[in-house]
Amino acid sequence: MKKQFTRCAVLFVTFICQGLFSISAYSQAVDSVYHDSLVHKKEEKLWQFRPIEAVAPVSLALAAFVTQGSISRHLQANLVGQTPNIHTHTDDVLRYLPGAVSLGLSASGVKGKHSFGDQLVLAILSNIIAQGVTGSIKMISKYPRPNGEDNQSFPSGHASSAFANATILHEEYGQRSVWYSVGGYASATTVGGMRILKNKHWLADVLMGAGIGIAATKVVYISYPWLKQTVRRIRKK
């Protein structure tokens, strides 16, 4: 089981690094082709990769690897033992709250980084990728939940959704006020904590899910200008 976890952790870190650095290389290639166009220059700046973008998801993946096993089991035994019989579905709804807030702000006229339509597309793509990666790793790892319910524990799908949506709110409105980012990530952290307290996930599951959610949204936001440009070219043909 430890080997399965290690393989999944390495797979995730490789996915993040390859995805982000491939986007960086492609953006540089586009820059060399369209260096005479001010419009293209403006778009490229929006998706130029910065190494710091990979710090949070990779750090969370490594933290998941470190805490897997005895640390997660010790935490689970202490927390669940002190807070038994927690029954709530708040986490099922709360994981989508930051994304809904971002769309709500845009719909009400509060200007974000993108228009409402673009935000909607970004939110859909981010959540699809986050859940796709999460589901794939679940199938590979087959890690048992702390409550013994099934072997779909690692990583946490709720955490990946929550942090994907928190990152959407951060990307759109974090520059307007840091409190949008604080609120979004506080909400996502609450979801992760609730999954542990409900005995549905280990700490390592939540950490990896958080990393996946952040990474998925970062990849979508970095590549979105290229995606829009590609769609425009197809429509013109």
Q: What is the DSSP string of 174-204?
A: TTT-HHHHHHHHHHHHHHHHHHHHTTS--HH
pTM of the model: 0.81
Residue type, 89: H
Q: How far apart are the first and last CA of the chain?
A: 51
pLDDT of residue 235: 85
CA 56 to mean position of chain CA atoms: 10
pLDDT of residue 121: 97
From residue 170, how far is each of 62, 164, 166, 179 by CA, in Å?
Answer: 23, 10, 6, 9
pLDDT of residue 6: 47
Q: In the 8-state DSSP scheme, what is residue 150?
A: -
Separation of alpha carbons 54 and 202, rounded Å: 24
pLDDT of residue 78: 86
pLDDT of residue 65: 93
Contact 145, 152 (CB under 8 A): yes
Residuewise pLDDT in 10s, the chain (237 residues): 445 444 444 444 444 444 444 443 333 333 334 343 444 444 445 456 788 889 999 999 999 999 999 999 998 888 877 776 678 899 999 999 999 999 999 999 999 999 999 999 999 999 999 999 999 999 999 999 999 999 999 999 999 999 999 999 999 999 999 999 999 999 999 999 999 999 999 999 999 999 999 999 999 999 999 888 888 888 887
Separation of alpha carbons 125 and 113, rounded Å: 16
Enumerate the domain spans of the chain.
2-236
Contact 195, 157 (CB under 8 A): no
Contact 223, 68 (CB under 8 A): no
